[in-house]
């Protein structure tokens, strides 16, 4: 949790700094006709930095650890029925106008407390009814993406490509007295298909969309010895306005969801390695893009 707080503080500082620069340039003693604040127009590459801040709502979230484990509903039983802070930061580099590389950092760490009203079994560990629980669902991910833009115009984009995502998962069930604990941690790569578009209307106003998604099932496709199903979808729609030549503001609605079902190979935890974990969320955020 402290890491998320630090990230939000640093990101907020960056956003405020960008806004101050924009205001100072806009209200300076002389008009400033900058095409970009961080790029030279004759460079073969152009960079952009984007930052979003808003809130996230968990629409649906269930999990089961162990084939004999309980199906636990985080929303109705785990206090995920509230809004959580949401932030997101990315850097985009366009190469020779048609190729783009994007690096994304997406913090995702939901921590709640609840008193369970029934016996809960997590990886062969029973948490009796009326046990106060400290719950953590951390699924922060990092993503490197490539896009090829099929639209030749400089002010618009229709891109398709691939992403490589690295998940950093920590899922914990702990009694508040520290006596009972089940913790599942995992770092793993995920290949993803990617789409992004942006369409301007000529008056500074524009709309855009971004979709990263992947679905796989079966032992051969997933590389597992057992039947396994996995999916991820990160899809958004945004509308924005060019505040200056080098700064855009936007409003973004985003869906992040996915999960997995199957038995992990060579599992060394307390249960039999079975997991059934599915999550659906929606976020609303405002953001800035520095060009």
CB 18 within 8 A of CB 11: no
Cα Rg, the chain, nearest whole Å: 22
User: Does residue 269 have a pLDDT over 90?
Assistant: no
CATH number assigned to the domain comprising residue 167: 2.40.128
pLDDT at 97: 87
Distance CA 74, CA 192 (A): 26
Closest by CA position to 15, among listed 225, 208, 250, 215: 250
Full 3-state SS string of 118-174:
CCEEECCEEECCCCEEEEEEEEEEEEEEEEEECCCCCCCEEEEEEEEEEEEEEEEEE
24 vs 262 pLDDT, higher one: 262
Distance CA 81, CA 35 (A): 45
User: Does residue 234 have a pLDDT over 50?
Assistant: yes
Range of the domain at 14: 2-290
pLDDT at 77: 98
- Number of separate domains in the chain: 1
**Length of the chain, please?**
291
Which of the residue ranges 49-53, 99-103, 226-230 would you say has the lowest mean pLDDT? 226-230
pLDDT at 35: 66
pLDDT at 153: 85
Q: Return the SS3 of 43.
A: coil
> Residue 226's pLDDT band (boundaries 50, 70, 90)?
low
Mean pLDDT for the chain?
87
């Amino acid at each position: 949790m402290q890491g998320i707080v630090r990230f939000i503080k640093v990101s907020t500082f960056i956003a405020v700094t960008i806004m101050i620069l924009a205001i100072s340039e806009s209200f300076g003693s002389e008009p400033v006709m900058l095409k970009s604040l961080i790029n030279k127009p004759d460079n073969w590459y152009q960079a952009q930095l984007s930052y979003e801040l808003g809130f996230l709502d968990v629409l649906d979230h269930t999990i089961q650890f162990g084939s004999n484990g309980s199906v636990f509903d985080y929303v109705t039983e785990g206090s995920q029925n509230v809004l959580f802070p949401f932030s997101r930061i990315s850097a985009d580099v366009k190469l020779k106008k048609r190729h783009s590389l994007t690096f994304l950092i997406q913090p995702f760490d939901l921590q709640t407390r609840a008193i369970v009203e029934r016996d809960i079994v997590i990886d062969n560990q029973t948490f009796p009814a009326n046990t106060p629980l400290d719950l953590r669902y951390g699924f922060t991910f990092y993503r490197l993406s490539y896009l090829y833009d099929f639209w030749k115009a400089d002010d618009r984009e229709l891109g398709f490509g691939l992403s490589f995502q690295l998940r950093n998962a920590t899922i914990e069930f702990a009694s508040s007295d520290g006596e009972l604990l089940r913790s599942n941690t995992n770092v793993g790569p995920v290949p993803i298909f990617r789409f992004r578009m942006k369409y301007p209307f000529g008056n500074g106003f524009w709309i855009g969309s971004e979709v990263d998604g992947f679905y796989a099932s079966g032992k051969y496709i997933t590389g597992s010895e057992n039947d396994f199903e996995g999916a991820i979808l990160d899809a958004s729609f945004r509308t924005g306005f060019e505040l200056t030549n080098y700064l855009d503001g936007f409003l973004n609605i985003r869906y992040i969801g996915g999960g997995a079902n199957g038995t992990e190979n060579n599992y060394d935890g307390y249960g039999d390695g079975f997991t059934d974990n599915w999550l659906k969320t929606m976020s609303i955020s405002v953001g800035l893009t520095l060009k």
